[in-house]
Amino acid sequence: MLNQLASRVGAALVVMFGVSTLVFLLLHLIPGDPVDAMLGETARAADREELRQALGLHLPVYAQYQRYLGGLLRLDLGQSLRDQRPVAALLAERLPATALLAVAALSVALLLALPLGVLAARHRGRALDGAAMSFSLLGISLPNFWLGPLLILVFSLWLGWTPVSGNDGPVSLILPALTLGTGLAAILARMVRASVLEVLNEDYVRTARAKGLSEVQVLRHHALRNAWLPVLTLVGLQLGGLLGGAVITETVFAWPGIGSLTVEAIQARDYPVVQGCVLLISLITVLINTLTDLLYARIDPRIGLG
């Protein structure tokens, strides 16, 4: 088991190295100059060159890459070009808001998807099944950048129930969580329905029914427990997408998280902050996928880590 865990850690390190290299190269290939973003295009040439040398941007790209990798080996993400603060400190300030939004969105998704998927499987081919799958199709089709402003228009501007944007308390979390969680709920509902339908055709389910168990007991104690593996796989994979979707959702709702920090850093051409944000999101995604694999053996002992 230790060898398998070591191999997974090694694979994760390779992925992180590839992500860091790709992000570094892409950021330095896209048009735009951090000095122009900080001083403006009307700044004097002497001031521009002085700032460029102070930030280390006068060095060749390969030299900047060496400095960047050296900092990563020391667990140093560098300093923000715009704020002149450690990138790690900026990430630590924004991470709790993103974590709160991700947990709330996942809760919304599970609260919607599990009952919808189970009811759709239980009433296969009936009106309830059609309604649940219609919701699923609608949720998958609505992008966050459209659903978010629509929710703001209805619940904030027309009804006045929630703030338009920002993080002013628990009420401010409702609309971003709904926006981010609805798409995931739609995908999960379809997976729950398919998994439960597959399990309901197994011999042990027919045996449980033959013993006189009610349909609720069959679903709770037999169907759902054995239908969790594919659902858990999808949740683990989608959590990474949840963080990616948070970039759009946080921007729409001005939520002070990693996603909005990423957009702000891209606009300011703040290379170290963008690299730090992408690395953090990649690291969380890799950790979640690894934990998902470990949970397999916990849910079903017949599955190993190999």
Does the pLDDT value for residue 303 go beyond 70?
Answer: no
| Angle, vertex CA 233, rays to CA 256 and CA 2, nearest 5 | 95
Residue 92 pLDDT: 92
| Identity of the highest mean pLDDT range in 28-37, 174-183, 209-218, 296-305 | 174-183
Residue 78 pLDDT: 83
**Which of 103-107, 113-117, 218-222, 301-305 is the least confident region?**
301-305
Residue 5 pLDDT: 67
- Cα–Cα distance, 9 to 4 (Å, whole number): 9
**What number is the average pLDDT over the span 82-102?**
89
Does the pLDDT value for residue 237 go beyond 80?
Answer: no
90: confidence class by pLDDT, cuts 50, 70, 90: very high
List domains and CATH numbers for the chain. Answer: 88-251 (1.10.3720.10)
Residue 231 pLDDT: 76
Residue 222 pLDDT: 65
Are the C-beta atoms of 139 and 186 separated by less than 8 Å?
A: yes
Provide the whole-model pTM. Answer: 0.80
Q: What percent of the chain has pLDDT over 90?
A: 4
Residue 165 pLDDT: 82
Q: Which of 226, 244, 221 has its CA nearest to residue 98?
A: 244
